[in-house]
Amino acid sequence: MSAGYFPKREKVGLEDLFKGLVTACHILHHHGILDAYGHISVRSPDNPATFWMPRNRAPALISSPDDLIEYNVEDASAVEKDAKPGYIERYIHSEIYKRFPAINSVVHSHCRDILPYCVSGVPLKSTIHMAGFLGNNVPVWDIAQHYPSGSKHDLLVRNTTLGASLSAAFKPTTSTGFIYSKVRSALPTQIAGTPPDPSRDPDYAVILMQGHGFTTAARSIEEAVYQAVYTKEAAQTQTKALAVRNAYYGQILEGKIDVEGGGKIKSAKAKTEGDLKYLSERELHDAWEANQSTLARPWELWCREVEVNPLYRNECPAGDD
């Protein structure tokens, strides 16, 4: 991953971190992951008990350190008492950082390509090797089951109770853990001496949110952006493949013909042909493991894309790496 975010601890600086966080906002907007809503955050390299997040502004317009706010992981309160207004759903981020010490970056999105899988009951699975991190099951968290008494039922994760419930979905008590946690446990330590501990790693990289969007958690800014972008790519591929499959194959009715009843089919059942081919568990694991070493390649391209786009301005000074 690129120098200055989460390689060796002694090389991490806030200047690099700020510049990377602003760039990440722009990349996520450029690729349709974020619009005027949605957000990305990063854990502070100087203090794992705090994290940085843009202020309440459209991600594409975030441009300088003045647009970034430091929050406490414990309760998502701003470190500075006179901080600018922040996002309501910062509790998504704080509770994930609280539950998973090795997670350093979180993205929350309302991406339109993923929303159908948040409302249809159709499971999102990986059909492409670039999204092996999805595993063979992407859970859907339904906030309706977790509203505290007297709270607004607006689907927003606006307090620690709802944030804690969402974060728990990344590692449910009934889960055995698989693709994501297995690969993560093999990675080196990346921040503030946090020791690798598979029992405290999330089992899932992505959680869908009923009627809302998705959240992804990762060990670095670059990895979080990669996962967000390729979650969208996986959803687009699956949606188009389902449409092609249904248009070509449709369904065949099988059953006995009732001649006396006018030729009606009785005891009929629909037979579906042309099922999608999803990645096997071995393919998911090995594909994601292989892509781990290549994250710098898309990151470099995406940085350049937003650098030359006049919509985006990044006024954060560069570090002294």
Question: What residues act catalytically?
Answer: 89
Helix (H) or strand (E) holding 54: strand 50-54
Residues near 110 by beta carbon (within 8 Å), at least 6 away in sequence: 35, 37, 38, 212, 213
- DSSP class of 42: E
* C-beta separation of 253 from 270 below 8 A: yes
What is the DSSP annotation of 174-222? T----HHHHHHHTSPP-STTPPP-GGGS-S-SEEEETTTEEEEEESSHH
Selection from 193, 197, 218, 215 nearest residue 206 by Cα: 215
Amino acid identity at 57: R
**Of 203, 212, 202, 208, nearest to 231 (Cα)?**
208
Beta strands in 225-313 (DSSP E): 251-258, 264-272
